[in-house]
Amino acid sequence: MTKTVFLPSKIIPELFVPQLFLFFFCVCVSQALPLEHTKNYIKVSLIISPTEDMSTIYCYSTMPPSRQYSHSTMPLLPVSPYSGPSDFCTENNISECMLYISQELSSLGLPSIFYDLNGIRELDVTSALNGMYDLLQLQRRTMGMVEELEVEQLKVSSDLHCQQLSSSKLKDQLELSKKENIRLRERERQLEINVKSLQSCLKNEKEEVQKLQNIIASRATQYNHDMKRKEREFNKLKERLNQLLADRKDKKQGMDVLNYVGRSDGRRSQWKTVKTDARHESEMYKTLLNEFDKHQKELMLENAELRKVLQQMKREMVGILSPKKHSQKEEKCTEFTDQVSFFDENIHIRKSVFNEESSEMSCEHAREKLTNSIRQQWRKLKHHVENLDNKASMVQLGREVGEEMISKDVHQDEMERLKVEIQQCKDFIQTQQQLLQQQLNTPCDEETAAVLNDCYMLEEKERLKEEWKTFEEQRKNFEMERRSFTEAAIRLGHERKMFEEDRATWLKHQFLNMTFTEHMAIKTQNALSDCK
């Protein structure tokens, strides 16, 4: 957008002010244009007015777009009040200048600077000065805006710079990671190839092993076949040899003995008959059966031993797992039925059954139950021990970490102490139980029972008596106190009556000694006080 500004070519001193003023105006006007309109360029043409020279000096300023936003951009038009003579306004064209300026001002929304007097335009100084003032304000505001904008622009440009740097950094990083990624992919690929090749090697080896085994098998069959063939041939040879030797009679085979010796067991030899055969068979079977019997006996003994061991183990496991409720005498356990261990009732029954030492019980059911129960208890014991181990290890870990844990010695001492305490308590409980047992079981005769009862009763009675005594005492005390309180109350009543009487007399006295009005006053006062 081009804005033509008329400037005077030379400065006429007497019109200096208006000329300058006008020039200044123009500058302000041009400056006051919002910058958005001059995004592309500002073209300012200075046209000299058509006066003496009639020359027009065109001064264009084309600002490159980038330079627009540079804070070092100096407005081309001088802002200083006195930079050069303005040739916008001369003596002759004052009214046109005024008109022009008014038009410009009106376009900006300011009142005109002149007023019309019979066709002559007269400069209205006030409005002109007002207009100038307004323009100056406008100028200042715009300058402020410009500054702000410049600052913002700086900020933005620095931000941009930062962003550019970071983006370049990120780009570099991206490059690096892409390269890394490629490298790793490459490696993975190579390893996969490696794995594949090894797998194929393995497969080949396996195939080879299989092949070799097949070869071995086939060779073995071949050798067997050959061996058999040779053996048959050998047998034939042997037969032939045997035949030849039998036919040949040169060397006689025989035994030459002085006399026959008796049998080692002294008995005569017997003919071979069916009976002897049967006897041999039976003897053989007898031997076998004896052996089986012996074997079975041994196994039974072993079985019994193992059963005993299992039972003992079970008992001990039960003992370990339930120490509080475990009574040391096994027999009592069955009698105290209220002492229920935390296993089911069946175990009691089984215990009592096995306590009878029924080692002959070999039925499957009982055997299974025994083994199952042992397995169960063993599992529980295992859990228990594992828990203890965990706790111990945790305590150990804790000790390593902090000093809050108590030392091992102290811990052990405490444990000992606790154990001793437990033992004492157990003993105490046992004695109590014994006593209770005695009491329940010992058939005491009536006398002693009565005496015993009496003893207990006496004790109770004594205690009760004592309590009564104390109670009586307390009651007496209460009575006394109450009496004293009543007396006190009565006394208090008396005193109050006395006090009332006194008051009454005093009042009468007063009344008799006073005038009416006073009396009335007093009366009203009294009434008031009464009311209160």
Partner 1 sequence: MLNNEYGKDDTFFFIYQQDICKDKQCFGMNFSEVFKQSNQLCKISPDGKYLATCVQYRLVVRDVNTLQILQLFTCLDQVAHMEWSSDSLFILCAMYKRGLVQVWSLEQPEWHCKIDEGSIGLVSSRWSPDGRHILNTTEFHLRVTVWSLCNKSVSYIKYPKACQKGMDFSADGRYMALVERRDCKDFISIFVCDDWHLLRHFETETQDLSGVEWSPNGCVLAAWDSCLEYKMLLYSLDGRLLSTYSAYEWSLGIKSVAWSPSSQFLAIGSYDEKVRILNHITWKKLIEFEHPATITSSKAVVYKEVEKKPVIGTEDLSVHQIAMGSSLFNTKSNYEITSLPVQVPVVKPDTDRANPKIGISAIAFSADNRYLATKNDNMPQSLWVWDMQRLGLQAVLEQTAPVRCFVWDPCRPRLALCTGNNKIYMWSPAGCISVKVQVEGSFQVQSIMWHGSGDSLVLLGKDQLCLCYLATDEEK
Element holding 46 (H helix, E strand)? strand 43-48
Whose Cβ is closer to partner 1: residue 188's or residue 231's? 231
* Interaction between residue 288 and partner 1 (CB under 8 A): yes
Minimum Å gap between C-beta 312 and partner 1 is 22
Q: Given candidates 14, 109, 263, 447, which one binds partner 1 under the rule CB under 8 A? A: 263
| DSSP state, residue 51 | S
| DSSP state, residue 55 | -
Candidates 163-171, 199-207, 257-265, 502-510 — which segment interacts with partner 1 by CB under 8 A?
A: 257-265
- Please state, in angstroms and rounded to a whole number, the distance separating the CA atoms of residues 304 and 182: 74
CA distances from 142 to 25, 34, 35 (A): 15, 8, 9
Q: Given candidates 118, 119, 120, 248, which one binds partner 1 under the rule CB under 8 A? A: 248
* Interaction between residue 266 and partner 1 (CB under 8 A): no
Whose Cβ is closer to partner 1: residue 233's or residue 479's? 233
Residue 88 near residue 26, CB atoms below 8 Å? yes
Candidates 142-150, 247-255, 466-474, 506-514 — which segment interacts with partner 1 by CB under 8 A?
A: 247-255
- Please state, in angstroms and rounded to a whole number, the distance separating the CA atoms of residues 303 and 297: 10
Minimum Å gap between C-beta 336 and partner 1 is 43
Unique residue bearing structure tokens 């002559």: 120
* Interaction between residue 258 and partner 1 (CB under 8 A): yes
* Interaction between residue 265 and partner 1 (CB under 8 A): yes
Which residues ranging from 294 to 333 are in contact with partner 1 (CB under 8 A)?
299
CA distances from 54 to 26, 51, 340 (A): 20, 5, 133
* Interaction between residue 472 and partner 1 (CB under 8 A): no
Whose Cβ is closer to partner 1: residue 205's or residue 495's? 205
Whose Cβ is closer to partner 1: residue 2's or residue 273's? 273
Query: In 89-124, which ranges are continuous DSSP H helix?
Result: 94-108
Contacts 24+ apart (CB under 8 A), 48-54: 48/6, 48/7, 48/8, 48/9, 48/87, 49/6, 49/7, 49/8, 49/9, 49/87, 49/88, 49/89, 49/90, 49/93, 51/8, 51/9, 51/87, 51/90, 51/92, 51/93, 52/9, 52/10, 53/9
Cβ neighbour number for residue 44 with a 10 Å cutoff: 22
Q: Given candidates 118, 264, 441, 442, which one binds partner 1 under the rule CB under 8 A? A: 264
Mark 200-219 with x for binding to partner 1 (rule: CB under 8 A) and - for no binding. Answer: -------------x--x---
Candidates 4-12, 142-150, 281-289, 397-405 — which segment interacts with partner 1 by CB under 8 A?
A: 281-289
Helix (H, G, I), strand (E, B) or coil at 30: helix
Q: Would you state the torsion angle of the CA atoms of residues 315, 317, 320, 322, taken in this order, to the nearest 10 degrees?
A: -80
Beta strands in 394-490 (DSSP E): none
Cβ neighbour number for residue 26 with a 10 Å cutoff: 25
Whose Cβ is closer to partner 1: residue 252's or residue 532's? 252
Element holding 43 (H helix, E strand)? strand 43-48
Minimum Å gap between C-beta 348 and partner 1 is 36
Minimum Å gap between C-beta 237 and partner 1 is 8
Q: Given candidates 106, 163, 167, 276, which one binds partner 1 under the rule CB under 8 A? A: 276
Instruction: Please give the full DSSP string across 307-325, using - where no structure is assigned.
Output: HHHHHHHHHHHHHHH-TTT
Q: Given candidates 58, 115, 285, 506, which one binds partner 1 under the rule CB under 8 A? A: 285
Candidates 236-244, 403-411, 451-459, 520-528 — which segment interacts with partner 1 by CB under 8 A?
A: 236-244
Number of residues this chain uses to bind partner 1 (CB under 8 A): 43
Q: If we measure between CA atoms, which residue out of 129, 52, 127, 45 comes closest to residue 93? A: 52
**Residue positions counted in the chain:** 532
Q: Given candidates 53, 159, 291, 518, which one binds partner 1 under the rule CB under 8 A? A: 291
| DSSP state, residue 64 | -
* Interaction between residue 251 and partner 1 (CB under 8 A): yes
* Interaction between residue 272 and partner 1 (CB under 8 A): yes
Candidates 135-143, 178-186, 223-231, 442-450 — which segment interacts with partner 1 by CB under 8 A?
A: 223-231
Q: Given candidates 52, 122, 277, 413, which one binds partner 1 under the rule CB under 8 A? A: 277
Minimum Å gap between C-beta 301 and partner 1 is 14
Whose Cβ is closer to partner 1: residue 220's or residue 415's? 220
Q: Given candidates 174, 182, 245, 425, which one binds partner 1 under the rule CB under 8 A? A: 245
Unique residue bearing structure tokens 């109770």: 460
Which residues ranging from 358 to 417 are in contact with partner 1 (CB under 8 A)?
none
Q: What does the longest C-alpha to C-alpha distance in the chain come to? A: 199
* Interaction between residue 274 and partner 1 (CB under 8 A): no
Whose Cβ is closer to partner 1: residue 267's or residue 532's? 267
Whose Cβ is closer to partner 1: residue 241's or residue 436's? 241
Triad 471, 473, 477: Cα angle to 5° = 115
Two tokens, residue 317: 């496991």
| Chain contacts with partner 1 (rule: CB under 8 A) | 213, 216, 220, 224, 227-228, 231-232, 238, 241-242, 245, 248, 250-265, 269-270, 272, 276-277, 280-281, 283-285, 287-288, 291, 299
